[in-house]
Protein backbone atom coordinates (compact mmCIF):
# COMPACT_ATOMS: atom_id res chain seq x y z
CA UNK A 1 0.00 0.00 0.00
CA UNK A 2 2.86 2.38 0.76
CA UNK A 3 6.18 3.38 -0.80
CA UNK A 4 8.99 3.77 1.75
CA UNK A 5 11.79 6.14 0.66
CA UNK A 6 15.12 6.98 2.28
CA UNK A 7 18.23 8.86 1.08
CA UNK A 8 19.22 5.61 -0.64
CA UNK A 9 17.01 2.64 -1.43
CA UNK A 10 19.85 0.42 -0.20
CA UNK A 11 18.66 1.28 3.30
CA UNK A 12 15.96 -1.36 2.80
CA UNK A 13 17.93 -3.98 0.86
CA UNK A 14 21.44 -3.87 2.33
CA UNK A 15 22.46 -4.78 5.88
CA UNK A 16 23.35 -1.60 7.74
CA UNK A 17 26.10 -0.96 10.26
CA UNK A 18 24.74 -0.73 13.79
CA UNK A 19 24.63 2.98 14.55
CA UNK A 20 23.42 3.91 11.06
CA UNK A 21 20.82 6.64 10.73
CA UNK A 22 18.62 7.88 7.92
CA UNK A 23 15.30 9.64 7.37
CA UNK A 24 12.29 7.90 5.86
CA UNK A 25 9.22 9.26 4.10
CA UNK A 26 6.16 7.39 2.90
CA UNK A 27 3.82 7.87 -0.02
CA UNK A 28 0.72 5.91 -1.12
CA UNK A 29 1.13 3.52 -4.01
CA UNK A 30 -2.35 4.50 -5.16
CA UNK A 31 -2.90 8.22 -4.67
CA UNK A 32 -6.64 7.66 -4.98
CA UNK A 33 -6.68 5.60 -1.76
CA UNK A 34 -4.05 7.04 0.59
CA UNK A 35 -3.62 5.74 4.14
CA UNK A 36 -5.66 7.41 6.83
CA UNK A 37 -4.51 10.92 7.69
CA UNK A 38 -2.18 11.00 10.65
CA UNK A 39 -0.49 7.63 9.98
CA UNK A 40 2.96 7.47 11.62
CA UNK A 41 6.05 5.30 11.52
CA UNK A 42 6.93 3.01 14.41
CA UNK A 43 9.37 0.20 15.17
CA UNK A 44 8.34 -3.41 15.55
CA UNK A 45 11.51 -4.08 17.58
CA UNK A 46 13.15 -1.20 19.41
CA UNK A 47 16.15 -3.35 20.33
CA UNK A 48 17.10 -3.10 16.64
CA UNK A 49 15.37 0.01 15.32
CA UNK A 50 14.24 3.23 16.94
CA UNK A 51 12.05 5.91 15.37
CA UNK A 52 12.23 9.63 16.10
CA UNK A 53 9.76 12.45 15.61
CA UNK A 54 9.11 13.58 12.03
CA UNK A 55 10.51 16.94 10.93
CA UNK A 56 8.59 19.78 9.33
CA UNK A 57 8.92 18.14 5.90
CA UNK A 58 7.42 14.86 7.12
CA UNK A 59 10.73 12.93 7.12
CA UNK A 60 11.08 10.59 10.09
CA UNK A 61 14.58 9.79 11.46
CA UNK A 62 15.37 6.16 12.21
CA UNK A 63 18.40 4.70 13.98
CA UNK A 64 19.73 1.13 13.91
CA UNK A 65 20.66 0.60 17.54
CA UNK A 66 21.33 -3.15 17.55
CA UNK A 67 21.94 -6.14 15.30
CA UNK A 68 19.07 -8.08 13.81
CA UNK A 69 15.99 -7.51 11.67
CA UNK A 70 13.06 -5.25 12.44
CA UNK A 71 10.01 -4.05 10.57
CA UNK A 72 9.57 -0.34 10.09
CA UNK A 73 5.81 -0.04 10.30
CA UNK A 74 3.34 2.61 9.19
CA UNK A 75 0.42 2.67 11.61
CA UNK A 76 -2.93 4.43 11.44
CA UNK A 77 -3.90 6.77 14.32
CA UNK A 78 -5.86 3.93 15.96
CA UNK A 79 -2.75 1.68 15.89
CA UNK A 80 -3.85 -0.43 12.93
CA UNK A 81 -0.93 -1.61 10.79
CA UNK A 82 -1.05 -0.03 7.34
CA UNK A 83 2.17 -1.39 5.82
CA UNK A 84 5.72 -2.36 6.80
CA UNK A 85 9.22 -2.79 5.37
CA UNK A 86 12.12 -4.76 6.85
CA UNK A 87 15.38 -3.13 7.91
CA UNK A 88 18.51 -5.16 8.77
CA UNK A 89 21.57 -4.29 10.85
CA UNK A 90 24.76 -6.04 11.97
CA UNK A 91 27.74 -5.29 14.20
CA UNK A 92 30.71 -4.27 12.04
CA UNK A 93 33.75 -6.53 11.96
CA UNK A 94 35.90 -3.98 10.15
CA UNK A 95 35.70 -0.64 8.42
CA UNK A 96 38.25 1.05 6.18
CA UNK A 97 38.67 4.20 4.13
CA UNK A 98 38.50 3.87 0.36
CA UNK A 99 39.99 6.19 -2.27
CA UNK A 100 36.81 7.34 -4.00
CA UNK A 101 38.61 8.58 -7.12
CA UNK A 102 40.43 5.28 -7.69
CA UNK A 103 37.25 3.29 -7.04
CA UNK A 104 35.42 5.37 -9.65
CA UNK A 105 38.26 4.93 -12.15
CA UNK A 106 38.55 1.12 -12.09
CA UNK A 107 36.59 -1.93 -11.00
CA UNK A 108 39.64 -4.24 -10.90
CA UNK A 109 41.61 -2.40 -8.21
CA UNK A 110 41.44 -2.70 -4.44
CA UNK A 111 40.86 0.98 -3.70
CA UNK A 112 41.12 0.68 0.10
CA UNK A 113 43.73 2.99 1.51
CA UNK A 114 46.66 1.28 3.29
CA UNK A 115 47.40 1.87 6.95
CA UNK A 116 50.13 4.43 6.23
CA UNK A 117 52.59 5.79 3.67
CA UNK A 118 50.23 7.78 1.50
CA UNK A 119 49.40 11.41 1.02
CA UNK A 120 47.26 13.81 -0.95
CA UNK A 121 47.75 17.18 -2.62
CA UNK A 122 47.02 20.59 -1.17
CA UNK A 123 43.96 22.38 -2.60
CA UNK A 124 42.53 19.21 -4.14
CA UNK A 125 39.42 17.65 -2.66
CA UNK A 126 40.07 14.06 -1.61
CA UNK A 127 37.07 11.72 -1.82
CA UNK A 128 36.95 9.21 1.05
CA UNK A 129 34.41 6.39 1.22
CA UNK A 130 33.76 4.05 4.15
CA UNK A 131 33.78 0.34 3.38
CA UNK A 132 32.35 -1.98 6.02
CA UNK A 133 31.94 -5.72 6.59
CA UNK A 134 30.40 -7.76 9.39
CA UNK A 135 32.28 -10.27 11.55
CA UNK A 136 31.82 -12.94 8.90
CA UNK A 137 33.07 -10.74 6.06
CA UNK A 138 29.62 -9.91 4.68
CA UNK A 139 29.12 -6.51 3.08
CA UNK A 140 27.56 -3.79 5.22
CA UNK A 141 26.32 -0.32 4.35
CA UNK A 142 27.48 2.46 6.64
CA UNK A 143 24.76 5.11 6.75
CA UNK A 144 26.29 7.91 8.84
CA UNK A 145 27.44 5.45 11.52
CA UNK A 146 31.13 6.20 11.00
CA UNK A 147 32.79 9.58 11.25
CA UNK A 148 36.11 10.88 9.94
CA UNK A 149 38.13 13.62 11.66
CA UNK A 150 41.70 14.81 12.15
CA UNK A 151 43.67 14.32 15.36
CA UNK A 152 46.22 16.32 17.32
CA UNK A 153 49.12 15.09 15.17
CA UNK A 154 47.81 17.16 12.24
CA UNK A 155 50.01 20.13 11.35
CA UNK A 156 48.48 20.88 7.94
CA UNK A 157 45.33 22.98 7.63
CA UNK A 158 42.72 20.33 6.75
CA UNK A 159 38.95 20.38 6.56
CA UNK A 160 37.03 17.08 6.69
CA UNK A 161 33.35 17.16 5.74
CA UNK A 162 30.60 14.57 5.56
CA UNK A 163 29.18 14.18 2.07
CA UNK A 164 26.79 11.47 0.81
CA UNK A 165 26.12 8.29 2.83
CA UNK A 166 29.40 6.53 3.70
CA UNK A 167 31.27 9.39 2.07
CA UNK A 168 33.56 12.19 3.26
CA UNK A 169 35.81 14.78 1.68
CA UNK A 170 39.14 16.05 2.96
CA UNK A 171 40.90 19.15 1.68
CA UNK A 172 44.16 20.70 2.85
CA UNK A 173 45.12 24.33 2.34
CA UNK A 174 48.71 23.84 3.54
CA UNK A 175 51.25 21.04 3.50
CA UNK A 176 52.12 18.99 6.57
CA UNK A 177 51.27 15.92 8.59
CA UNK A 178 47.67 14.72 8.77
CA UNK A 179 46.18 12.23 11.21
CA UNK A 180 42.92 11.01 9.72
CA UNK A 181 40.79 9.12 12.23
CA UNK A 182 37.98 6.76 11.17
CA UNK A 183 35.60 6.13 14.06
CA UNK A 184 32.91 3.43 13.87
CA UNK A 185 30.63 2.44 16.76
CA UNK A 186 31.81 -0.86 18.23
CA UNK A 187 35.34 -0.65 16.77
CA UNK A 188 38.56 0.93 17.95
CA UNK A 189 39.39 4.19 16.15
CA UNK A 190 41.51 3.65 13.05
CA UNK A 191 44.23 6.28 12.55
CA UNK A 192 45.81 6.96 9.16
CA UNK A 193 49.08 8.93 9.63
CA UNK A 194 49.40 10.58 6.19
CA UNK A 195 50.74 13.78 4.62
CA UNK A 196 49.48 16.73 2.62
CA UNK A 197 51.87 17.67 -0.21
CA UNK A 198 52.28 20.67 -2.45
CA UNK A 199 51.90 19.69 -6.14
CA UNK A 200 55.55 20.57 -6.78
CA UNK A 201 56.63 17.88 -4.32
CA UNK A 202 55.58 15.05 -6.66
CA UNK A 203 58.89 13.64 -7.90
CA UNK A 204 58.04 10.25 -9.42
CA UNK A 205 55.37 8.62 -11.57
CA UNK A 206 54.92 4.90 -12.17
CA UNK A 207 52.54 2.88 -14.31
CA UNK A 208 51.16 -0.41 -12.96
CA UNK A 209 49.25 -3.21 -14.66
CA UNK A 210 46.15 -4.28 -12.74
CA UNK A 211 44.75 -6.96 -15.05
CA UNK A 212 45.42 -8.68 -18.36
CA UNK A 213 43.89 -11.29 -20.64
CA UNK A 214 45.44 -13.51 -23.27
CA UNK A 215 44.18 -11.29 -26.11
CA UNK A 216 46.57 -8.48 -25.19
CA UNK A 217 44.08 -6.30 -23.31
CA UNK A 218 45.38 -4.81 -20.05
CA UNK A 219 44.09 -2.46 -17.36
CA UNK A 220 46.68 0.11 -16.26
CA UNK A 221 46.73 2.73 -13.51
CA UNK A 222 48.94 5.73 -12.86
CA UNK A 223 50.71 6.22 -9.54
CA UNK A 224 52.42 9.39 -8.29
CA UNK A 225 54.94 9.65 -5.45
CA UNK A 226 56.59 12.26 -3.29
CA UNK A 227 59.81 11.07 -1.64
CA UNK A 228 58.62 7.44 -2.04
CA UNK A 229 55.20 8.18 -0.47
CA UNK A 230 52.29 7.46 -2.82
CA UNK A 231 50.02 10.41 -3.56
CA UNK A 232 46.31 9.60 -3.94
CA UNK A 233 43.30 11.58 -5.07
CA UNK A 234 42.06 13.22 -8.28
CA UNK A 235 45.27 13.21 -10.34
CA UNK A 236 44.88 14.03 -14.05
CA UNK A 237 47.35 11.65 -15.68
CA UNK A 238 48.02 12.11 -19.40
CA UNK A 239 48.66 8.89 -21.33
CA UNK A 240 50.56 8.03 -24.51
CA UNK A 241 51.80 4.78 -26.02
CA UNK A 242 53.75 3.15 -28.82
CA UNK A 243 51.98 2.58 -32.13
CA UNK A 244 51.47 -1.05 -31.24
CA UNK A 245 49.27 -0.11 -28.29
CA UNK A 246 45.75 1.33 -28.49
CA UNK A 247 44.62 3.45 -25.52
CA UNK A 248 41.03 3.56 -24.30
CA UNK A 249 41.54 7.17 -23.13
CA UNK A 250 44.24 9.85 -23.15
CA UNK A 251 43.66 10.97 -19.56
CA UNK A 252 42.49 9.58 -16.23
CA UNK A 253 43.69 7.64 -13.20
CA UNK A 254 43.21 4.28 -14.92
CA UNK A 255 42.77 3.20 -18.54
CA UNK A 256 42.61 0.05 -20.65
CA UNK A 257 45.02 -0.71 -23.47
CA UNK A 258 45.08 -3.21 -26.31
CA UNK A 259 48.34 -4.68 -27.61
CA UNK A 260 48.17 -5.70 -31.27
CA UNK A 261 49.33 -9.14 -32.43
CA UNK A 262 49.99 -10.30 -35.99
CA UNK A 263 47.40 -12.62 -37.44
CA UNK A 264 48.33 -16.26 -37.96
CA UNK A 265 50.71 -16.59 -40.88
CA UNK A 266 51.78 -12.94 -40.84
CA UNK A 267 55.37 -11.86 -40.03
CA UNK A 268 56.25 -11.26 -36.36
CA UNK A 269 55.57 -7.80 -34.95
CA UNK A 270 58.77 -6.65 -33.27
CA UNK A 271 57.61 -3.14 -32.45
CA UNK A 272 57.87 -2.09 -28.77
CA UNK A 273 54.78 -1.94 -26.52
CA UNK A 274 55.28 0.72 -23.88
CA UNK A 275 52.81 3.07 -22.21
CA UNK A 276 53.67 6.32 -20.42
CA UNK A 277 51.73 8.43 -17.95
CA UNK A 278 52.54 12.03 -17.02
CA UNK A 279 51.26 14.25 -14.23
CA UNK A 280 52.57 17.48 -12.66
CA UNK A 281 55.64 17.43 -14.89
CA UNK A 282 56.74 13.89 -13.96
CA UNK A 283 56.49 10.85 -16.23
CA UNK A 284 56.65 7.08 -15.85
CA UNK A 285 56.75 4.31 -18.46
CA UNK A 286 55.77 0.64 -18.41
CA UNK A 287 57.01 -1.98 -20.85
CA UNK A 288 53.99 -4.21 -21.39
CA UNK A 289 56.28 -7.11 -22.34
CA UNK A 290 57.61 -7.23 -18.77
CA UNK A 291 54.60 -5.95 -16.81
CA UNK A 292 53.77 -7.50 -13.45
CA UNK A 293 50.38 -7.03 -11.82
CA UNK A 294 49.62 -4.78 -8.86
CA UNK A 295 46.04 -4.43 -7.69
CA UNK A 296 46.47 -2.47 -4.45
CA UNK A 297 48.69 0.01 -2.65
CA UNK A 298 49.71 -2.32 0.15
CA UNK A 299 48.23 -4.04 3.21
CA UNK A 300 44.83 -2.79 4.30
CA UNK A 301 44.56 -0.81 7.51
CA UNK A 302 42.22 -3.21 9.28
CA UNK A 303 41.10 -6.84 8.90
CA UNK A 304 38.21 -8.83 10.34
CA UNK A 305 38.91 -10.82 13.48
CA UNK A 306 36.24 -13.37 14.41
CA UNK A 307 35.82 -13.27 18.17
CA UNK A 308 34.98 -16.17 20.44
CA UNK A 309 35.24 -19.31 18.35
CA UNK A 310 33.50 -20.10 15.13
CA UNK A 311 31.03 -17.84 13.41
CA UNK A 312 28.74 -18.75 10.58
CA UNK A 313 30.57 -18.59 7.28
CA UNK A 314 33.99 -17.60 8.69
CA UNK A 315 35.49 -20.26 10.91
CA UNK A 316 37.62 -19.34 13.93
CA UNK A 317 40.61 -17.70 12.25
CA UNK A 318 41.26 -14.01 11.62
CA UNK A 319 40.23 -13.12 8.10
CA UNK A 320 40.36 -10.20 5.72
CA UNK A 321 37.48 -10.56 3.26
CA UNK A 322 38.74 -7.65 1.17
CA UNK A 323 42.17 -9.27 0.83
CA UNK A 324 40.57 -12.63 0.16
CA UNK A 325 38.61 -11.15 -2.71
CA UNK A 326 41.73 -9.39 -3.98
CA UNK A 327 43.69 -12.64 -3.72
CA UNK A 328 41.19 -14.51 -5.88
CA UNK A 329 41.43 -11.76 -8.49
CA UNK A 330 45.23 -11.68 -8.23
CA UNK A 331 45.58 -15.44 -8.72
CA UNK A 332 43.45 -15.29 -11.85
CA UNK A 333 45.36 -12.21 -13.01
CA UNK A 334 48.77 -13.81 -12.56
CA UNK A 335 47.65 -16.67 -14.78
CA UNK A 336 46.47 -14.24 -17.47
CA UNK A 337 49.65 -12.16 -17.22
CA UNK A 338 51.80 -15.28 -17.56
CA UNK A 339 49.78 -16.38 -20.57
CA UNK A 340 50.13 -12.94 -22.15
CA UNK A 341 53.88 -12.89 -21.50
CA UNK A 342 54.29 -16.30 -23.14
CA UNK A 343 52.40 -15.08 -26.17
CA UNK A 344 54.42 -11.87 -26.35
CA UNK A 345 57.64 -13.90 -26.05
CA UNK A 346 56.57 -16.23 -28.87
CA UNK A 347 55.78 -13.25 -31.08
CA UNK A 348 59.09 -11.53 -30.25
CA UNK A 349 61.02 -14.73 -31.00
CA UNK A 350 59.26 -15.16 -34.32
Whether pLDDT at 20 is above 50: yes
Whether pLDDT at 148 is above 70: yes
Distance of CA 115 to CAs 119, 191, 194, 298, Å? Answer: 11, 8, 9, 8
- The alpha carbon of residue 79 and the mean position of all alpha carbons in its chain are separated, in whole angstroms, by 42
Whether pLDDT at 102 is above 60: yes
Same domain, 340 and 237: yes
Q: Does 264 or 52 have the greater pLDDT score?
A: 52
Whether pLDDT at 322 is above 50: no
Tell me the average pLDDT of the chain.
86
The backbone torsions φ and ψ at residue 277, rounded to the nearest 5 degrees and listed phi first, read: -125, 140
At 1, the pLDDT band (50, 70, 90 cuts) reads confident
Residue 49, domain CATH = 2.60.40.3440
d(CA 172, CA 126): 9
* pLDDT for the residue 37: 80
* pLDDT for the residue 74: 95
In three-state secondary structure terms, 7 is coil
Same domain, 253 and 217: yes
Same domain, 73 and 21: yes
* pLDDT for the residue 58: 87
Distance of CA 50 to CAs 11, 71, 115, Å? Answer: 14, 11, 35
Same domain, 144 and 188: yes
Which among 272, 291, 271 is positioned nearest to 337, based on CA atoms?
A: 291
Residue 321, domain CATH = 2.60.40.1080
* pLDDT for the residue 307: 57
At 26, the pLDDT band (50, 70, 90 cuts) reads very high
Same domain, 118 and 221: no
Give per-residue pLDDT as tens, 282-291.
999 999 988 8
Same domain, 154 and 213: no
Same domain, 166 and 100: yes
The count of domains in the chain is: 3
Whether pLDDT at 22 is above 90: yes
Owning domain of residue 34: 2-90
Cβ of 77: how many Cβ atoms within 10 Å? 10
pTM (two decimals): 0.82
Whether pLDDT at 332 is above 60: no
Q: Does 37 or 86 have the greater pLDDT score?
A: 86
Whether pLDDT at 329 is above 70: no
Same domain, 76 and 179: no
d(CA 335, CA 312): 32
Whether pLDDT at 170 is above 80: yes
The β-bridge partners of 205 are: 224
At 306, the pLDDT band (50, 70, 90 cuts) reads low
% of the chain exceeding 90 in pLDDT: 68
Which among 328, 273, 322, 272 is positioned nearest to 299, based on CA atoms?
A: 322
Whether pLDDT at 119 is above 90: yes
User: Any idea what DSSP says for residue 310?
Assistant: -
Whether pLDDT at 315 is above 90: no
Mean pLDDT of 109-114: 92
Same domain, 56 and 165: no
Same domain, 134 and 275: no
Q: Does 319 or 183 have the greater pLDDT score?
A: 183
At 215, the pLDDT band (50, 70, 90 cuts) reads confident
Same domain, 8 and 67: yes
Mean pLDDT of 18-39: 85
Mean pLDDT of 282-306: 87
Same domain, 20 and 162: no
Q: CA angle, 118 as apex, 112 and 122 as ends, to 5°?
A: 110
Residue 266's Cβ-count burial label (10 Å; 0-12, 13-18, 19+) is exposed
At 222, the pLDDT band (50, 70, 90 cuts) reads very high
* pLDDT for the residue 214: 80
Are β-strands 126-134 and 167-172 bridged in parallel, bridged antiparallel, or unpaired? antiparallel
Whether pLDDT at 31 is above 90: no
Distance of CA 14 to CAs 11, 67, 86, 167, Å? Answer: 6, 13, 10, 17
Mean pLDDT of 208-212: 91
% of the chain exceeding 70 in pLDDT: 85
Residue 229, domain CATH = 2.60.40
Distance of CA 281 to CAs 184, 202, 330, Å? Answer: 39, 9, 32
The β-bridge partners of 40 are: 75
Which among 23, 14, 26 is positioned nearest to 86, based on CA atoms?
A: 14
Which residues are within 8 A (CB) of 56 and not within 5 positions of it... i.e. 6 or more apart? none
Amino acid sequence: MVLFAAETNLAFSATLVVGSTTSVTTAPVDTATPPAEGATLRSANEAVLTVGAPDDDGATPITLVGPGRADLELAAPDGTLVDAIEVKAAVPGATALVDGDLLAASSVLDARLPAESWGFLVDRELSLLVSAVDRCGGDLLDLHASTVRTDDSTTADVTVSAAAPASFTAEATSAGDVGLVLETPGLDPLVYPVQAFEPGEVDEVAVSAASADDTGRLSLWGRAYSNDVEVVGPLAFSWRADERVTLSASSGLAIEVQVSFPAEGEPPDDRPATVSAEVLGEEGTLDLFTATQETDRGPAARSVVVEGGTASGCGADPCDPFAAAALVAAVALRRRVRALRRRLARVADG
